[in-house]
Amino acid sequence: MTPAFEKLQKQLKQLPGLGYRSAERIALHLLVEKPAKLPALVEAMQEAAKSVRRCERCGNIAEGERCALCADEKRDGSVVCVVEHVPDLVALERSGAYRGVYHVLHGKLSPIQGVAPEDLNLQALLDRVERGEANELILALSNDVEGEATCHYITQHLGPRGVKVTRIGFGLPSGGGVLYADSVTLKSALEGRRDYR
């Protein structure tokens, strides 16, 4: 292989879900087998890198300061559903069972994997509550040790302002998250949320 090829392969290998073999296959595909496709891909990546960012309020992906959900005045801004990742939000949206807004943490607390509160979009959530934006937090975090620790951290660090905190759970498989649940399960999980403090 050539130095430039190996450099690209090394970058690809660092992407989630790609190992050495798949990185090699993609690099070969782009450079040797279908090089005509490459300029469009590079252009799309450059355009996305310039315009896509985190919503300043909730952490969802956005192309302005706020995401489409935060900008939608028909949604109930006083109910905030807290999720780990953007695909969790997408799954909940697909269920059609939720009309509030969201807060994306971009992960969950994990001392073992070295994920501390400052690595997550947690302070912004506490600030939203502090500013009085939310009457209810729905914790839609994984049903595992890290999800539990993250729920605990949030409730421990909420200021004195009164806010109802519920957690979904009903129907979700143990150890599972929002992303892999089907729409019916998510709907019942939302409806079956229970008080969390």
Residues that bind Zn ion (CB under 5 A): 55, 57-58, 60, 67, 70
Residue with Cβ nearer Zn ion (57 or 193): 57
In a 10 Å sphere around its CB, with 0-12 CB exposed, 13-18 middle and 19+ buried, how is residue 66 labelled? Answer: middle
d(CA 164, CA 56): 23
Residue with Cβ nearer Zn ion (12 or 58): 58
Q: Which helix (DSSP H) or strand (DSSP E) does residue 95 occupy?
A: helix 86-95
Which residue in 66, 63, 58, 27 sits closest to 48, CA to CA? Answer: 63
d(CA 75, CA 72): 6
C-beta of 59: minimal distance to Zn ion in Å? Answer: 7
C-beta of 101: minimal distance to Zn ion in Å? Answer: 7
Residue 187: phi and psi, rounded to 5, are -60, -45
Residue with Cβ nearer Zn ion (15 or 52): 52
C-beta of 44: minimal distance to Zn ion in Å? Answer: 23
Residue with Cβ nearer Zn ion (26 or 124): 124
